[in-house]
Amino acid sequence: MAIATSLNSQRPYVLKADREEPVEKQTTFHLRSISAKLRAQLMTQLERDQGQGLYELVRHGVAGWDNLVDKDGEQIAAKVSKGILCDTSMEAIGDFWLELGQAAIMQNQLDETDQGNSESSPKSPATG
């Protein structure tokens, strides 16, 4: 039985580079579900220009994060406007937006039943 995905649902995701770190040092990104209409628009954009499509998918698919720090160890807050990450937040993510784009695609391909049965349930960070 299919279960509708809630647009309010979020799933934690830990970058591959952080997975060997102690939990308190890991950066956790919060991936959100995207509406079917926006997902279709972004998938069309992905087909035309994969880089720009992934970038936009991250802007729409990442709701925020915990424990992202700058080179001096200072916490960086996610800046979101109208549900979309601002350019300064995208700059803070750096080259990790590619990995996050792939994770956002996976987040939006899984329905809630799949998420509950996957290796990385919504209660624990994704292991992608």
Q: For 12-50, how does the pLDDT look when each residue is reduced to its tens digit (9 = 90+)?
A: 999 999 999 999 999 999 999 888 888 889 889 889 998
Place of tokens 């803070």: 92
Query: Model pTM?
Result: 0.76
Residue with tokens 């799949």: 114
More confident residue, 85 or 5: 85
> What spatial distance separates the first Cα and last Cα of the chain, rounded to whole Å?
25
> Could you give the CA distance from residue 97 to residue 72 in angstroms, rounded to a whole number?
21
49 DSSP β-pair partners: none
pLDDT for res 106: 82
68 phi and psi, to 5 degrees?
-95, 120
Token couple for 42: 């972004």
For tokens 């960086």, the residue is: 76
Scanning 11-80, the segments in alpha helix (DSSP H) are 36-48, 50-61
* pLDDT for 86: 95
* DSSP assignment letter at 69: B
